Amino acid sequence: MNQFTQADVSTIDKATIARFDVPMADWWDSTGPARWLHKYNPARVSFICRAAGQTQRRTGQADDLRGLRIVDIGCGGGVLCEPLAMLGATVVGVDPAPLAIEAARLHALASDLDIDYRCTTAEAMAAAGERFDVVLAMEVIEHVADCDAFLRRCAELVRPRGLLILSTINRTAKSFAYAIVMAEYVLRVLPKGTHDWRKFRRPVELERALAPSGFRVVDVSGVTMRLSTRELRLSKDVGVNFLMALQRAE
């Protein structure tokens, strides 16, 4: 965020600013630290459109999200919220980091998009009785302290027949090699210590954690890089990054 300066937010919460300062300043620089997030965006949006199209749509047009109320838990600077709003969804972005929410609000203003950003948590949203057609938790569960409790809170936010969409990293030998060794130590596209391999969840573990809340898996996809163009694309290989869509029963 270039319009974003330290002075604008220094009064909000100094301790949090200190913790999130580095990753937030550059949410929207698609050549900067958030580069891989931007590169991942086409695959993420495609998957969301596909899953929503299969279970929520009435118009039959894949890239039309009009009429859907979507919440993005851990929205950061709004990199995913904006394209969803562009496609017509009513979007709420939630993140406990005030600097990220401030960055997201400023960018939405510049993009002329109406997105409801809230500096709060999934727990508080669930307690307030909020309900959504689609709940997104993208690249979040591998960072939370208690994954199962977090998933239960997210599940509460989904209306009957609505969708919960998760994006995370599998716990496999391959993901250790790629997500930890390659990403943090060899290519250094992520800061060291970004991920703890033991916190990664396998697809079947997510399925089991959410079954008691009445969810069943409707779509799963892996993500792989196409070497010729260095694009990240949806694929059948769920060995490292994967996306999962679960639908809540009536």
Partner 1 sequence: MNKDIPARADVMIAGGGFAGLALAIALRQGLGDAFTVVVADPALDHPIADARSSAIAAAARRLFSALGVWDEVVSHAQPILDMVISDSKLEDVVRPTFLTFAGEVAPGEPFAHMVENGRLLAALHGRAAADGIVLASDAVARFATGPDRVAVTLAGGASVETRLLVAADGARSALREQAGIGTVGWSYGQSAIVTTVAHERDHRGRAVEHFLPAGPFAILPLTGRRSSIVWTETTAEATRILALDDAGFHHELERRFGLSLGELSAVGRRGAFPLGLKVARSFIAERFALLGDAAHMIHPIAGQGLNLGLRDVAALAEAMVDAARLGLDCGGATVLERYQQWRRFDTLSMGLATDGINRLFSNRSDVLRLARDIGLGMVERLPALKELFIHEAAGITGEVPRLLKGEAL
The candidate with the shortest Cα–Cα distance to 4, out of 97, 85, 101, 91, is 101
Q: What Cα–Cα distance (Å) separates residue 51 from each residue in 19, 149, 229?
A: 34, 24, 26
CB of residue 31 vs partner 1: minimum separation in angstroms? 5
* Residue whose CB is less far from partner 1, 24 or 180: 24
Pick one of 20, 24, 28, 244: the residue that binds partner 1 (CB under 8 A): 28
Q: Are 159 and 133 in contact (CB under 8 A)?
A: yes
Smallest separation, CB 56 to partner 1 (Å): 16
Q: C-beta of 20: minimal distance to partner 1 in Å?
A: 20
Our finding on whether 30 is near partner 1 (CB under 8 A) is: yes
Q: Fill in the per-residue mask, 45 to 84: x = in contact with partner 1 (CB under 8 A), - = not in contact.
A: xx--x-------------x------------------xxx
Does 3 interact with partner 1 (rule: CB under 8 A)? yes
Nearer Cβ to partner 1 (62/218): 62
Residues 154-183 that bind partner 1 (CB under 8 A): none
